[in-house]
Amino acid sequence: MSVISTTDLSMVFGHNRALDDLDVDVHAGVTGLVGANGAGKTTFMSIVLGLRYPTTGRVEVLGLDAQADGTEVRALVGYGPERNLLPEDMPASDFVKHLAEVRGMPRSEARGRASDALWLVGLGEERFRALGTMSTGQRQRVKLAQAIASDPSLVLLDEPTDGLDPVQRDEMLVLIRQISDEYGIDVLLSSHLLEEVERICDHVVALDAGRLIAQGRLADLVGDEEGVMVDLVEIPDRPDAIRGVVARLRGDGLEVHHEDGSTRIAVVGPDADLVADRVRDALAESGARVGRIERRRRNLEDLFAPGPA
């Protein structure tokens, strides 16, 4: 069953089509919502939370209609905003407790859960410190704690590693993975950093300028070695060497990406070893000099590129 499901979802702001006819299914586990800044990630999240009404289309969250049942949806969803603004003079424990109460926890329960959530994100000893005295990394953890303190079924995290150094980012990604694996809370993580999504997500939804360009299991979208990338060096007495290599490989039935005038060719085939053998043979026959050759692994960046250039 989908945690989030959209049908023909579009959102138009004036002349700007922020979301364009999206049919998205977000499954259980950790899902990465990826795309450049302005791709529509935050707009998508605000519609999922029932805070914006889409221009057209329908959104179901946890089996509820996000528009008609927005209040019920938000009671079951935790949210960590992108903005790093928090009440400066409020202790972390009071902040998390207050938001747990607003999300429906009884006061006595909220206090205990706020404390637990802050311990879980590694801020147990710091929980009585004012938010204004905390570092960026600690504030990101507090935002995560408030998102999980009310025991939501789903957590939406908008750029949760924004502003973190590499060590803090690693720790935050481990925490997010832990939320799903150990606490059974599904996570929709918005990020423009593809590498971190590849590290922790089970599924990916990729947006580009409001359009859906890919979705599915991460393992199905990245990781396979699919070919070879070759940088050739043009030799003056062999002016057609590169063209010869390209023609030979295409003759072998392989998919070859090459732009006229470029010294780089990318070769894709059903089996990476087979592609490598064919490239080796073509290079030997042409006599072209090789500058660099490497196996090519598909990654999320390929989803946003027109082809393996």
Partner 1 sequence: MADNGAQILDRGYRRYEGSRSGTVGAVRSVAWHTTRSILGLGRKARHKIFPVIVVVIAFIPAIVFLGLTVLIGDLLEDELQPEYWELFGFSNVAIVLFATLVAPEAIVRDRRDGMLSLYLSTPLTRSTYVAAKVIATLGTMSIITIGPPILALLGYTFQSQGPGGVLEWFEVLAKLVVSGLLIVAVLTAVSLGASSLTDRRAFASVAVIMIMIGSLTVTAVLINVAGGSQSLGALSPFSAFEVAPRMFGDRSEDAEEVETWLVVAATFGWIAAGSSVLWWKYRRLGAV
Of 1, 14, 37, 71, which lies in the binding site for partner 1, with binding defined by CB under 8 A? 71
Backbone torsions φ then ψ of 266, nearest 5 degrees: -120, 130
Q: Which residue, 181 or 285, has its beta carbon nearer to partner 1?
A: 181
Residue range at the interface with partner 1 (CB under 8 A); choices 143-151, 208-216, 219-227, 257-265: 143-151
Residue 150 is a binding residue for partner 1 (CB under 8 A):
yes
Nearest to 208 by CA among 38, 11, 13, 12: 38
Cα(6)–Cα(72) distance, rounded to whole angstroms?
A: 18
Task: Examine residue 278 and tell whether it contacts partner 1 (CB under 8 A).
Answer: no
Residue placing its CB nearer to partner 1 in the complex, 62 or 241: 62
CB of 116 to partner 1, least distance (A): 6
Interface with partner 1, residue 103, by CB under 8 A: yes
Q: Dihedral of the CA atoms 96, 101, 106, 111 (nearest 10)?
A: 20
Piece in contact with partner 1 (CB under 8 A), picked from 67-75, 241-249, 285-293, 299-307: 67-75
Count other Cβ atoms within 10 Å, centred on residue 5. 19
Contact 155, 188 (CB under 8 A): yes
Tell me how far, at minimum, the Cβ of 34 lies from partner 1, in Å: 18
- State the chain's maximal CA–CA distance in angstroms: 83
The length of the chain in residues reads 309
Does 99 contact partner 1 by CB under 8 A? Answer: yes
245: nearest Cα among 262, 224, 222: 262
Say whether residue 98 binds partner 1 (CB under 8 A): yes
Report whether 295 contacts 269 (CB < 8 A). Answer: no
Nearer to partner 1, 65 or 109 (CB): 109
**DSSP secondary structure code for residue 119 in this structure:** H
Task: Rank residues 60 and 159 by Cβ distance to partner 1 and give the closer one.
Answer: 159
> Of 93, 98, 97, nearest to 129 (Cα)?
93
Smallest distance, Å, CB 169 to partner 1? 21
- Residues that bind partner 1 in the complex, under the rule CB under 8 A: 42, 45-46, 49, 51-52, 70-72, 74-75, 77, 79, 81, 83-89, 94, 98-99, 101-106, 109, 113, 116, 120, 146, 148, 150-151, 156, 158, 182-184
